[in-house]
Amino acid sequence: MKNKLLILGSGGHGRVVADVAEKTKFFQEISFLDDNFLNRNFSKSVDSKKVLGEISKRSIKKYASEFSHAFVGIGDNQIRINWLKILETMNFEIPKIIDPSAEISKYAVLEKGSFINTNVVIQCNAKIQFGSILNTSCTIDHDSIIGEGTHICPGVNVAGNVNIGKFCWIGIGSQIIQNVQIGDNVTVGGG
């Protein structure tokens, strides 16, 4: 079977995920499901990729035999993790999607469903948990943990030995100094 990727969500984040997935040259085909599919003014093609239907278990089941891999391109942390867990139960391969420009230590751990965008740096013994987003040009230093479903925004710098909990949103350009612990569901403002 060809490596075909089904992405849930064709909005801004979904399109970025598709762009990076295309750059990896691993997938021969990439298509979307999107909640706006039933809107008659909604385009059924996004960046030369098909939008096949709405996001629902029924639509996902309809395309399960055609797609080997599935990913969630939705920025909302809770929604993203909920759909990733549903895709797991439906036996899709949940990849890690990593931009070829990223610099990742061979000693770092990236769990499935992770999205690593352009120019990200991840140092040794960092752990990126299930369904997290590391956005453009952020850095994660040694021995830091990024919790499940957390979004690290563009230009964020996370120092060594930082533990960021689940479902956090670390705003654009923020800097987290070493040895800091951030709990679950925390939003850090930009800068």
CA nearest 13: which of 129, 110, 153?
153
Question: Is 117 buried (19+), middle (13-18) or exposed (0-12) by CB count in 10 A?
Answer: buried
* Residue 53 in this model has a pLDDT that exceeds 80: yes
Give the mean pLDDT of the chain: 96
Residue 13 annotated in active site: no
Query: Among residues 13, 69, 142, 151, which one is catalytic?
Result: 142
3-state secondary structure of 100: coil
Residue 1's pLDDT is what? 58
CA nearest 117: which of 96, 137, 94?
137
Question: Tens of pLDDT along 147-173?
Answer: 999 999 999 999 999 999 999 999 999
Question: Tens of pLDDT along 54-75?
Answer: 999 999 999 999 999 999 999 9
This prediction has a pTM of 0.95
Contact 177/158 with Cβ under 8 angstroms? Answer: no
3-state secondary structure of 161: coil
Question: Tens of pLDDT along 75-107?
Answer: 999 999 999 999 999 999 999 999 999 999 999
Question: Tens of pLDDT along 129-142?
Answer: 999 999 999 999 99
Angle in degrees, CA 165, 168, 169, rounded to 5: 150
Residue 27 is classified by DSSP as -
Backbone angles phi, psi at 47, to 5 degrees: 50, 50
Residue 98's pLDDT is what? 98
Question: Tens of pLDDT along 1-48?
Answer: 589 999 999 999 999 999 999 999 999 999 999 999 988 888 888 889
